[in-house]
A and B are shown apart, each in its own frame.
Chain A
Amino acid sequence: MKHSTPKATRHLNQNEGLIFEKSSAGKAAWKLPPLDVPEIDTAKLLGSAERKDLGAMPEVSEIEIIRHFTRLSTWNYAIDLGMYPLGSCTMKYNPRVNEAVARVEGIANGHPYQPEKISQGALRIMKTLSECLIEITGMDAITLQPAAGAHGEMTGLLMVRAYHESKGNARKKILIPDSAHGTNPATAAMVGYAVENLKSDSRGMVDIAALEAQMNQDVAALMLTNPNTLGVFEQDIHKIAEILHAKGGLLYMDGANMNALVGKVRPGDFGVDVMHLNLHKTFSTPHGGGGPGSGPVAIKKILEPFLPKPVVITHSDGTLGFDYNRPQSVGRVRAFYGNFGMFVRALAYIQANGPDGLRQTTEDAVLNANYIRKGLEGTYDLPYTTPTMHEVVFSDKLQAKKGVRTMDIAKRLIDYGFHPYTTAFPLIVPGALMIEPTESESKEEMDLFIDAMKSIAQEVEEDPQTVLDAPHSTRVSRLDETAAARKPVLRWKPD
C-alpha cells in the first residue's frame, strides 16, 4: 500500500529536568487574597503541633510550571496522537464534550454530603446512567460505587459470598480460566476464596469437560471474561451457565471486553449473574496515564439485597435520594458514592451515541480487529484459528527462530510511530502479541499499522539486530529496569 504521508515517528526532544532542579527561594506561582478575618497567632493555637518547615517543597513561577508540564507532555504517546493496539484495554477516543460537561459548576463542585434537596442533579445523572447500563448489560440492578474494574471484581465477589452465606454455605473456591487477567485471582484471594485454574481447550475456549469435572458444591463462582482475552466468544456459554447453576454456583463476568458486545448481545441474556464494567474502557472515560477509572457492578435480582449501600431510590414524591436501610448489604467499598466524575463522562458518551451509535461502534470495533487479523495472518503465527471478535492474539513463534521476541517487536513498533500492543499476555500463548484497535481507528491508521508490522517482520529476517536494539527514535532508549528494581530510587533528594 502506498501512502503519501508516513506516520510521524519522532517524539519531540524537549529537555526538562525535575521541578526541584528549577526551584529557588523567592519564586512563587501562587497568590492568596488578603485575609478578611483577624490574623491568628499560630504558635498560640497549635503549640508544638505547629509545622515550621516544608523541607524541599519547590518554589517556582507559573510560567516555569506551564513549560515544565508542557514539555513533559511532549514525551508521552497518547490516543490523541495515534492508535494504541493494546489488547483488552479498549483505547478508544475520549470525547471532549465529556470533559466540558464534567466541569459545569454545580456538577464539578457538588459536595457529596449536601442535602438531597439540592442534589437532584447528581442523583438524576446516577439514575439515568444506571438505567442505561442495566439495559446495555441485560441485568436487573447495579452499583456505581467501585472505583475501577478490580474494585468492581472485589465488590461482585463480596456479593457472591454474601449470597452463598445467606444460603448457609459460603463455599471455598472460585474457578478462573488460565487466560484470565491478573486482577481476577488477586481479587478472589482478597475476598477469602481459593483460586482453582480452569484450562482452555484447543479452540481457546473454556474446556467444558474440565468445568464439569471441577464444578461442585465448593465452587462459589466461575470468573469469566467474554469474549475472552483471545478475543474468542464462548460459544458454549449457555452450557457453562447451566453447569454452574445446576450446582448452585454463580457466573461472574469480567466486562473488560464489552466493546465486542454492546448493542449486539447482553450478558444478562446468556446467563451471567454478576458482572463489572470498565467505564474507562468501553465507555470512553479517559485513561489519564493510569486512572481514574470506574467499575460499576451489574447484577441479577437474586443479588439485589447485597448491593453496597447506599442505593439510589425514588421517593413517593418523585424526588431522588439515597437509601441506607439495607440490612443485607455487603457494606461500603469506598467512602461517598463512586467516581462520580466518570459517571458524567460515561453518560455523555452514551447520549452522544444513542442505540444506533452504540451498535455501530461495536460493529466497527469487531470489523477493525478482523481487518488487522486478515492483514497479519501469515506474517505472524496465529495460535488459534477460532473466529475472533474485537481483539486478536498472535505469537512470536516465527520470529523467535531468529532470536527476536514479542517485546523486541513491540519496541521496534515504537519507531514506526505506534504504541506497542500487549506483550506476553494472555499467559496461555507464549510470546503473545495481543491486539485490539477499537472502533476509533480509521482504515488509514490501520493500514499504516499493518504495513509497520509487516516491515518489522521483514527486518527480523534481514536485520534482526535493528529490532533487538529498538527503539531508536525515542528520547530515552531501553531503560535499565533491573537496576531500578535492585536498588530502587523512588524520590528525588536534595544534595
Chain B
Amino acid sequence: MAYPTDRKYTKEHEWIQANGNSAAIGITDYAQESLGDIVFVETPKVGAELTAGKTFGTVESVKAVSDLFAPASGTVTEVNGDLATSPEKVNKDAHSAWMVKITLKNPAELDALLSAADYEKFVAEEAGH
C-alpha cells in the first residue's frame, strides 16, 4: 500500500502527523492488519507527558496486547473519544483514526523518523520474514 506522505513513521508502526507545533498520533495500516480485530485502545489522559520512544498506551485485540510507543515527546492536548466506543475505526482506516494529539516538545525529533517511502521499504522487509 502507499503510505500517506503527509506524515512520519516509526519502526514500532506508529505514524505522527505534525501541524505546526501540534501533532496527531496513530498506528499504521500494517499494525492494524497484524493485530487483527481491535477491541480496545488505552490512551493517556489530557495533560499527560509523552517521552519519545517510551510506551504511552496499549492496543488490544482479542488475543493480544501491544504497547504504543511515542514517536515524539510532548503533552497530550486531545484524546480521540470515538475510539472508546468504536475501536473498529482503527481497523477500518488506521491513518485517519488518530489516537492522541500532542503539543510537540521538540519538533526536531520528527526529522529522525521514517518517511513514507522508508516505512514502506521497512514493512516490505518485515513481511518478508
Residue of B whose beta carbon sits closest to that of A486: B39
Is B30 interfacial (CB 8 A cutoff)? no
Range, interface on chain B: under 10
CA distance A432 to B37 in the complex (A): 21
Chain B residue nearest in CB terms to A407: B63
A490 within 8 A of B: no
Residue A4 CB within 8 A of the other chain: no
Interface positions of A from 417 to 434, Cβ below 8 Å from B: 424
Q: How far is the CB of A488 from chain B (nearest CB, A)?
A: 9
Within 8 A of A (CB), among B21-65: 37, 39-40, 60-63
Could you say which residues of chain B place their CB within 8 Å of the CB of A485? Answer: 39-40, 60, 62
Could you mark each residue 477-495 of chain A with 1 if its beta carbon is under 8 Å from any beta carbon of chain B, else 0? 0000110011000000000
**Which B residues touch A481, using CB under 8 A?**
62
Task: A481 to B60: give the CA distance in the assembly, Å.
Answer: 13
Q: List the B side residues contacting A482 at CB < 8 Å.
A: 37, 39, 61-62
A105 to B63, CA, bound (A): 45
Question: Closest CB-CB distance, B67 to chain A, in whole Å?
Answer: 15
- Interface flag for B74 (CB, 8 Å): no
Complex Cα distance, B91 from A482, in Å, reads 12
Q: How far is the CA of A481 from the CA of B61 in the complex (A)?
A: 10
Question: Which secondary structure dominates chain A's binding surface?
Answer: helix
Q: Which of A263-279 contact B (CB under 8 A)?
A: none
A486 to B41, CA, bound (A): 10
* Interface: B71 (CB within 8 A): no
Task: Tally chain A residues at the interface, Cβ within 8 Å.
Answer: 5
| Nearest CB in chain B to that of A482: its residue | B37
B39 contacts which chain A residues (CB < 8 A)?
482, 485-486
Q: Please, which residues of chain A bring their CB within 8 A of the CB of B62? A: 481-482, 485
A347 to chain B, nearest CB (A): 39
Distance in angstroms between the alpha carbons of A486 and B37 in the assembled complex = 9
Kindly report which residue of chain A lies nearest to residue B39, judged by CB atoms.
A485
Q: Whole-angstrom distance from the CB of A105 to the nearest CB of chain B?
A: 46
Residues of A within 8 A of B14 (CB): none
Chain A residues with CB under 8 A of B37: 482, 486
A residues within 8 A CB of B63? 424
B61 neighbours in A (Cβ, 8 Å): 482
- Taking CB atoms, residues of chain B closer than 8 Å to A486 are 37, 39-40, 87-88
Contact with B along A454-495 (1 / 0, CB 8 A): 000000000000000000000000000110011000000000
A485 to B37 alpha-carbon distance, docked (Å):
10
Interface centre among B60, B61, B62, B63 (most CB of A within 10 A): B62
Q: How far is the CA of A359 from the CA of B80 in the complex (A)?
A: 61
* Least distance between A428 CB and chain B CB atoms (Å): 16
Residue of A nearest to B88 (CB): A486
Closest Cβ of chain A to B63, distance in Å, is: 8
Within the complex, what minimum Cβ distance (angstroms) separates B62 from chain A?
A: 5
A132 to B37 Cα, complex, angstroms: 49
Measured in the bound complex, the distance between the Cα atoms of B87 and A485 in whole Å is 11
- Nearest Cβ on chain A to B92's Cβ, whole angstroms: 13
A424 to B88, CA, bound (A): 24
- Alpha-carbon gap, A486 to B40, bound state (A): 7
Per-residue CB contact flags for chain A residues 70-99 toward chain B (1 = under 8 Å, else 0) read: 000000000000000000000000000000
A454 to chain B, nearest CB (A): 28
Report Cα–Cα, A485/B40, bound state, in Å: 8
Q: How far is the CA of A259 from the CA of B40 in the complex (A)?
A: 39
How far in angstroms is the closest Cβ of chain B from A345?
A: 33
**In the complex the two chains form, what is the Cα distance from A482 to B63 in whole Å?**
9
Residue of A nearest to B37 (CB): A482
By a CB distance below 8 angstroms, the chain B residues around A424 are 63
A225 vs B56: C-alpha distance when bound (angstroms) = 33
Distance between A447 CB and nearest chain B CB, rounded to angstroms? 32
In the assembled complex, the Cα of A482 lies from the Cα of B88 at a distance in Å of 10
Q: In the complex the two chains form, what is the Cα distance from A424 to B37 in whole Å?
A: 18
11 A-B residue pairs with CB within 8 Å: A424-B63, A481-B62, A482-B61, A485-B39, A485-B40, A485-B60, A485-B62, A486-B37, A486-B39, A486-B87, A486-B88
Q: Which residues of B contact A (CB under 8 A)?
A: 37, 39-40, 60-63, 87-88
* Known pairs A481-B62, A482-B61, A486-B40 / 12 extra A-B pairs, C-beta < 8 Å: A424-B63, A482-B37, A482-B39, A482-B62, A485-B39, A485-B40, A485-B60, A485-B62, A486-B37, A486-B39, A486-B87, A486-B88
Which 9 pairs, one residue from A and one from B, show the smallest C-beta to C-beta distance? A485-B39, A482-B37, A481-B62, A486-B39, A485-B62, A482-B62, A482-B39, A486-B87, A486-B88
